[in-house]
């Protein structure tokens, strides 16, 4: 689904991403972890042409994105980050996600309405569809962000720190929602996150970045405390979660 080869990105005169290569297969959940400034968000944005790259190549669903028009690419891959507060209603904002399928002379179709309704139902946002975003809590807005991503109806969704600044309840709710949608729809998820234990719990693989380079790519169950300690520069120990038997990391 995604193939990145020898990617290099410069922003503001700085070499942000250095010779990064990786693949993501259909239906996979890949988490990107690493310290602040490692390049996680930059890589996500480069996959959908929000951020340009100076060399290398990116293929999405078999197509070179450098020759892919904006709407065509938006029908293949979705990027979503934390939604800012604004005056749009929930339903209006989610409907904007249908833009890849609209032309300058077309109007909203019944299919568009059904996709929006289905996305709101899955994310439990129907109950406040007429409310404005600035009337919602951070957790509610993130549910809207997920609904908006689903309404775009692509096989690949890029999540840019979807649970940052959320309390434990909404962190768990949004993380479970993303994982369940991935399973039921067999979509491909790439998730940039600072929540290390969420990455270990939900991901098939984890890609660790530091200073714009890949430190390691491993199956989630193979990531060790030594890997994480070296990545962040602080000590970690690993333990087994007694509920799901997944590995968890505890900072010393």
Percent of the chain with pLDDT over 70: 99
Please tell me the distance from the alpha carbon of residue 182 to that of residue 71, in angstroms, as a whole number: 23
pTM of the model: 0.93
Confidence of residue 201 (pLDDT cuts 50, 70, 90): very high
At 242, is the secondary structure helix, strand, or coil? Answer: coil
pLDDT at 104: 67
- Binning pLDDT at 50, 70 and 90, where does residue 107 land? confident
- The dihedrals phi and psi of 90, each to the nearest 5 degrees, come to -60, -50
1-76+188-252 fold: Rossmann fold (3.40.50)
Please tell me the predicted confidence (pLDDT) of residue 126.
95
Q: What is the pLDDT of residue 110?
A: 92
What mean pLDDT, rounded, does the chain reach?
A: 93
DSSP for 156-225 reads EEEEESTTTT--HHHHHHHHHHHHHHHHHHT-EEEEE-S-HHHHHHH-SEEEEEETTEEEEEEEGGG--H
Of the candidates 164, 166, 165, 189, the one whose C-alpha atom is nearest the C-alpha of residue 178 is: 189
Task: Give dist(CA 176, CA 140) in Å, integer.
Answer: 14
Q: Please report which confidence band the pLDDT of residue 92 belongs to, taking 50, 70 and 90 as the band edges.
A: very high
**Euclidean distance between CA atoms 235 and 237, whole angstroms:** 7
Mean pLDDT over residues 40-45, rounded? 96
Residues, the chain, total? 252
Rounded mean pLDDT, 21-48: 96
Pairing of strands 77-80, 156-160: parallel
CA–CA dist 88, 98 (Å, integer): 15
193 pLDDT more than 70:
yes
Instruction: Report residue 167's pLDDT band, with 50, 70 and 90 as the boundaries.
Output: confident
248/200 Cα distance (integer angstroms): 7
- 110-140: per-residue pLDDT in tens? 999 999 999 999 999 999 999 999 999 988 9
What is the average pLDDT across 130-157? 93
CB-count burial class (<10 Å; 0-12, 13-18, 19+) for 138: middle
């Amino acid at each position: 689904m995604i193939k990145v080869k020898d990617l290099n990105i410069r922003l503001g005169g700085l070499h942000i991403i250095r010779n990064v290569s990786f693949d993501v297969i259909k239906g996979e959940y890949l988490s990107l972890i690493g310290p602040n400034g490692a390049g996680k968000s930059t890589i996500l944005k480069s996959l959908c042409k929000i951020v340009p790259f100076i060399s290398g190549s990116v293929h999405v669903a078999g197509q070179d994105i450098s020759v892919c028009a904006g709407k065509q690419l938006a029908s293949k891959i979705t990027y979503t980050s934390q939604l800012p507060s604004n005056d749009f209603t929930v339903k209006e904002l989610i409907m904007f996600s249908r833009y890849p399928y609209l032309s300058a002379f077309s109007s909203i179709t019944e299919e568009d309405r059904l996709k929006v309704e289905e996305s709101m139902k899955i994310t439990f946002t129907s109950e406040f569809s007429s409310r404005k975003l600035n009337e919602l809590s951070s957790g509610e807005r993130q549910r809207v962000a997920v609904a908006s991503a689903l309404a775009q109806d692509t096989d690949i969704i890029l999540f840019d720190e979807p649970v940052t600044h959320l309390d434990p309840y909404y962190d768990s709710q949004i993380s479970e929602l993303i994982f369940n949608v991935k399973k039921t729809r067999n979509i491909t998820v790439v998730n940039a996150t600072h929540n290390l234990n969420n990455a270990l719990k939900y991901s098939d693989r984890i890609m660790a970045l530091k200073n714009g380079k890949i430190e390691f790519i491993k199956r989630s169950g193979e990531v060790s405390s030594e890997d994480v300690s070296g990545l962040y520069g602080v000590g970690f120990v690993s333990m087994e979660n007694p509920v799901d038997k997944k590995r968890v990391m505890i900072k010393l």
